[in-house]
Chains A and B, each alone.
Chain A
Amino acid sequence: MKPSDKDKYKSYTRRATLLSGGMLLLSSALIGRMYYLQVVSRSQYELLADRNRISMRLLAPTRGEIIDRFGRPVATSTTDYRVNVIPEETEELQQTLKSLSKYIPITEGDNTRIVKAASKQRSFLPISVANNLDWETFSKVNVNMPDLPGIQPDVGTSRYYPEKELAAHLIGYVGSVSEEELTGDPLLELPEFKIGKNGIEKILDNKLRGSAGNSRLEVNVLGRVIRELSRQDSISGDTARLTIDLEIQKFAANRVRDESAAVVVMDVHNGEILGLASTPSFDPNDFNNGISQKKWDALRNDIRKPLINKAVSGQYSPGSTFKMIVALAGLEAGIIKATDTKFCNSRYRIGNRIAHCWNKNGHGHINVIQAISQSCDVYFYDLALEVGIDRIHDMAARLGIGNRFDIGIMSEAKGINPNGEWKFNTQGVRWQGGDTANVGIGQGYVSTTPLQLAVMTSRLVNGGKMITPKILLDDTADYPIPDDVGISPENLRIVLQGMNDVYNHPRGTAFPYRSRNKDYKFGGKTGTTQVTRISMAERQDGVIKNEEKEWIGRDHALFVGYGPIENPKYAVSVLVEHGGGGSSVASPIAKDVLEYLMKMDATENKGQSV
């Protein structure tokens, strides 16, 4: 080896060592970085890795049921057969939809919606094609699955109202959450989630809703679910139990099915509402998935107002059903006695106007019992003016008029229990004698709801106990013993005699419509209220027959009834909008409902004795 080669070797060894040292230095930088990432900052990166892969999904709770007093379902959750499509799994989306349309009608709109959704979201996420399929259609789709790539039959739950329109106003309905209803509760943001929109569904929404569960899912970078890491099941909503007896509700609603009417049935001893019907009604099932514009418009534009709960929201002049209050005000003030009579010749002068009794021939000399049973207007004009509005107002208030009970369903109206102060505050005008006379026969400023009339009747017939109406049944809590209305039993007996005679005295206004059953008798009071004032010209023509008037111009028919006569148990109030006469239209309805109640009790008692 030449010396120069030796030099080269030396030089190489030195340079190679230096290079190796440099590489070692760089490698230790790598080790330092590894230590920093994997040991020093590990927990921070672990958190970030988990945030990447773990996706929390809410599990919607099953909505609590609403049941009647005997546990029969009024609102429940049913299996909802749905069909979804997963675009990723189809060979061609349009082709699959076309094949599916052999079994399920797919509209042009559905098609557009699905294609739009498919272009927007990840292709492995399902898109809803159809909901609420019947079992037959659903099984057809299932059987033909091999021909329908990408179609995914799915079973969910949706709200179901088995009685349809029967108790719609009471129960209300559910619907999708609107923007204003968002509270920050993530449950409300679930796309399929429904909340109460009306009635009990809305008032008790928090109770019925239940609480959400959650599922921790491992997802990949595309959001596809790989597996479930852990799950906390949702807790179903509580059951709401109503005081309603579904059979009574059914009977009452069906009895007035063809009318624009309201019926309230109440237990006079504790105020439990056994039936609360309002017609015409609507099918709350229609609202579950958003009601169609056509159906909604039809409901909105119907002059018989199917969306209004007439039993609690409708405010009507009580008409002659108010006369018991005027009578009691007179009796309690000592202004009249049971035997005192007044003379009715069908005409009564109030200021410079002549008011008429419904009976053109007049009632002649009649006492308070007869005035109630024959519903003499002249008697009550006179009595009201003698008693004065303040005493009437006081008695009406004690019997529940002008009071909102907040029983727990939507839009309960307050009605008007007028007096001088009320008129001055609202109209800016002094109370006139004529106003008192009008209130004396339940017209003029006074206005009540059918619910209030049922409360009034209950308080009259239960011995003057100030019961309040209830719609929610709570077995655990005893109702507090109701206050006394503070009316002497003797005066109550006098008024009840008048109400008894309405059905059962040959001259009673509802005598033709009395119950013919020998086992039980009912009492009550008719009311007919004018919707339009009958003009002088019409009167001279002879009052035109109600049937010939436009429906809207007809009188409202009212009736408050109770039964049985001895130890009354049930109070019923009936209102038929533009029904005509209280005696001919409303009293038969009340009688039928009361008879039904008696029959039910009889079978029940028999059942117990066996």
Chain B
Amino acid sequence: MSISVQFHKIHDPINCVNKTVDETTLIKTVNGEPIEDEDLSEPTFLVNYNDSLLECNYCYVAKYKRYYFCKPTTENGNNIRINCSVDALQTFWSELAEQDMTLIRSTSFEKPTYVQDTSLPVDDERILKGVSMEFDSIHNDPVVGQYSAVGWYNIINTV
């Protein structure tokens, strides 16, 4: 029993969740013959030989409702064997998108947070800042003087 498979050539990274999979990436829709038992996660299809299909790296199988990464190899002069591996991220993203999860590293934090980030490229050198107190004016109380802080200064930029 042959199954309709859309073969694409995509350019997005593997871990991208909203890959561009449309008519601009579509190579061809063909019928493929699943070999061995149907395996939803890693199916293999035999399709009629077509040069363009050797360039495919992605496919969508409507029957399985799944996106796959795929790797074509020439079976013989008449067929191409295409090994597939499910792209769970793209396939189940719509279900995933509604579920609460704990984000621990993200662009969306926009800047370093109060959570330590050991990957941040902090230089070994450190900047020394200082605030020093200088006497400025006198308090009315004869035994209490008042200083004013004169501000933060770069005392030493680097050593």
A and B bind: no
**Chain B residues with a Cβ under 8 A of chain A:** none
